[in-house]
Structure 1
Amino acid sequence: MISQFFSDLAHYHFLQNALITALAVGLVSGVLGAFIILRSMSLMGDAISHAVLPGVAISYMLGINFYLGAICFGLLAALMIGYIKSNSMIKGDTAIGIIFSAFLALGVILIGVANSSTDLFHILFGNVLAVADSDKWLTMIIASLVILLILFFFKGLLITSFDPVLARSLGIKVGFYHYLVMILLTVVAVTAMQSVGTIMIVAMLISPAATAYLYTESLKKMVILSAVIGALSSTLGIAIGYSFNLAVGSTIVLTAASLFFISFLISPKQRSSSR
């Protein structure tokens, strides 16, 4: 039945849009995800992906593109978490928990006020098969810009990810790279809404990168492999979801998770570490 997907792909424009959009999200999520797990920011990714909900709801109420509201609230959440962490005795995970729950609760309330449950349901759980041409191009542009920025700042990101103390001694602005990653995380989380939804964005940021980590010690190889796994998960996930009439966002995430568990069992690096 999956072969039917690839046959229909040549004839249906909406499938072409879906595949291109999902591939872009898979690639950029894989690239950024490598730095997210190395910096132990998985919880931050989950928090920001949910913190954008109030922005999405407000955007619908104001009749503007949801990208604008979502990015604003995602950045606001990141700044608030950073401020609380830096200016109090509260630890980072506690600050994340407070902001995450508060923004999520606000988002739930505003979703009810917005009274647009159908569209907002797609934002929560994804609806990549309904991606319009404009959203496809916007996703491709944003994904390309994020990857270019990561390539441009790769050396600084590498050093600050592995050894922030060494980075400071070399005169590298660790804070700049921290907030750069936070901003890119917010942008990618918003970009991934159309494919997997806000609920499962963190899975696409973490699973491909975690899978790649099981195979290599090199950050460059990890980034490349993570991007490939993200793209593969998106392609197989769409094919499975379309062929069996399942929620495509969920099948993409489950495909990425399945690749991780298979790798967990067979990767030489994992087997050697468990001895």
Structure 2
Amino acid sequence: MFELLDFFNYSFFNRAIILSILAGLSCGIIGVWILLLNIPFIGVTIAHCAFAGAIVGLFLGINPVLSGFVFCILAAFMINPISRRIKSQNNISINLLFSFSIAVAFIFAGLFKEHITDLFSLFWGNLLISTLSDVFVNTVITIILILFAIFFHRGIIALFFSREISKSCGIPENLIFTLMVLLLCSTISINLKSIGGLLIYSLISLPAATAYQLTYSLTKMYLLSVFFAVSACVTGLFISTFFSIPVGATIILVSCIIFIISLLYKKR
């Protein structure tokens, strides 16, 4: 017990705690959007595009968060029109983008001869190597995300029901959806180093799926998703630090356990 409390004496661990909470907040909210908009494969494709972009950026000496975000944006502009037409050829297009991003990621990963530690942190994540600038950027993005969810609450709900009906009612559904995708890109990009490119989508999807099992209320779903995401992040951080195991993988493992437990109490 005292060993765990001793961790708080170190500034890097305190930064990791703050980032854990911020990651849980942002991923918990984004996860609800992806779940209720029924665009899981779009979400996972964007996540892997960010992962590929981060690896390319690291290889070229560019900030991986920035390069990951650029790849996200490119993917978003390609996926947004596709998502408006649910047809088999569009699903194939999304699958092509997903496969391309994975191929690019592993090709550039195979070219690495230096910065191997940084490369592996993009794969599995490491909250303990975060900086003050990481905390600042995550805080800004999370605040923007929360404010957007509050001010566009009614428009977001309309999109959950039907984008076509929303448009006919005068709601700027295309703008709202595009902003939601951009916030998804931002959330994934800023958490790549913390959670890991191969694991970040699991933190987005699992807490929301857990909350979906327990309530029919959208407000409660937001709160439960955020609670489960933050709990998984903080618990996973403590476990990984105490046992010296990869933090990103531990967080996702905790998320899986929480989801399995929720199945015992689900309302649906």
* 1:67 and 2:68 matched: no
Pairwise CA distance, 1:133: 1.7
Answer yes or no: is the 8 Å Cα contact 1:207–1:256 preserved in 2: yes
Pairwise CA distance, 1:85: 5.8
How many positions carry a matched residue from both structures? 267
Pairwise CA distance, 1:63: 2.8
Pairwise CA distance, 1:153: 1.4
Match of 1:201 in 2: 200
Quick one: which amino acid aligns to residue 39 of structure 2?
M
Name the SS for the 1:214 alignment partner: helix
Match of 2:111 in 1: 113
Pairwise CA distance, 1:245: 1.6
Match of 2:246 in 1: 247
Quick one: which amino acid aligns to residue 168 of structure 2?
S
Q: Cα deviations across residues 5-51 of structure 1 (Å, max 9, x unaligned)?
A: 2x023211111111111110011100111111001122112111111
Pick one of 75, 91, 94 that aligns with 1:93.
91
Q: Cα deviations across residues 136-184 of structure 1 (Å, max 9, x unaligned)?
A: 2222222222222222212111111123233122111222222222111
Match of 2:228 in 1: 229
Match of 1:23 in 2: 21
Name structure 2 gaps, 5 residues minimum: none
Quick one: which amino acid aligns to residue 93 of structure 2?
A
* 1:104 and 2:75 matched: no
Pairwise CA distance, 1:71: 0.6
- 1:121, 1:64 → 2: CA distance? 16
184-193 or 49-58: bigger deviation: 49-58
Residues 95, 128 of structure 1: CA spacing in aligned structure 2 closer, same or farther, 3 A cutoff?
same
Residues 226, 89 of structure 1: CA spacing in aligned structure 2 closer, same or farther, 3 A cutoff?
closer
Name structure 1 gaps, 5 residues minimum: 271-275
Match of 1:56 in 2: 54
Name the SS for the 2:121 alignment partner: helix
TM-score of the aligned structures, taking structure 1 as reference length? 0.90
Residues 156, 83 of structure 1: CA spacing in aligned structure 2 closer, same or farther, 3 A cutoff?
closer
Pairwise CA distance, 1:88: 10
TM-score of the aligned structures, taking structure 2 as reference length? 0.92
Answer yes or no: is the 8 Å Cα contact 2:25–2:226 preserved in 1: yes
- 2:250, 2:217 → 1: CA distance? 29
- 2:255, 2:83 → 1: CA distance? 32
Pairwise CA distance, 1:89: 6.1
- 2:87, 2:212 → 1: CA distance? 33
Match of 1:259 in 2: 258
Pick one of 5, 11, 17 that aligns with 1:13.
11
Match of 1:273 in 2: none
1:161-176 pair list within 5 angstroms? 161-176=160-175
Quick one: which amino acid aligns to residue 74 of structure 1?
C
Q: Cα deviations across residues 110-157 of structure 1 (Å, max 9, x unaligned)?
A: 233354332111011101111112212222222222222222212111
Quick one: which amino acid aligns to residue 126 of structure 1?
G
Name the SS for the 1:172 alignment partner: coil
Residues 92, 179 of structure 1: CA spacing in aligned structure 2 closer, same or farther, 3 A cutoff?
farther
Answer yes or no: is the 8 Å Cα contact 2:124–2:247 preserved in 1: no
**RMSD of Structure 2 on Structure 1 (CA):** 2.0
- 2:77, 2:117 → 1: CA distance? 31
* 1:39 and 2:31 matched: no
Name the SS for the 2:263 alignment partner: helix
Answer yes or no: is the 8 Å Cα contact 1:42–1:202 preserved in 2: no
- 2:201, 2:107 → 1: CA distance? 22
Pairwise CA distance, 1:87: 8.5
- Over the matched positions of the two proteins, sequence identity in percent amounts to 32
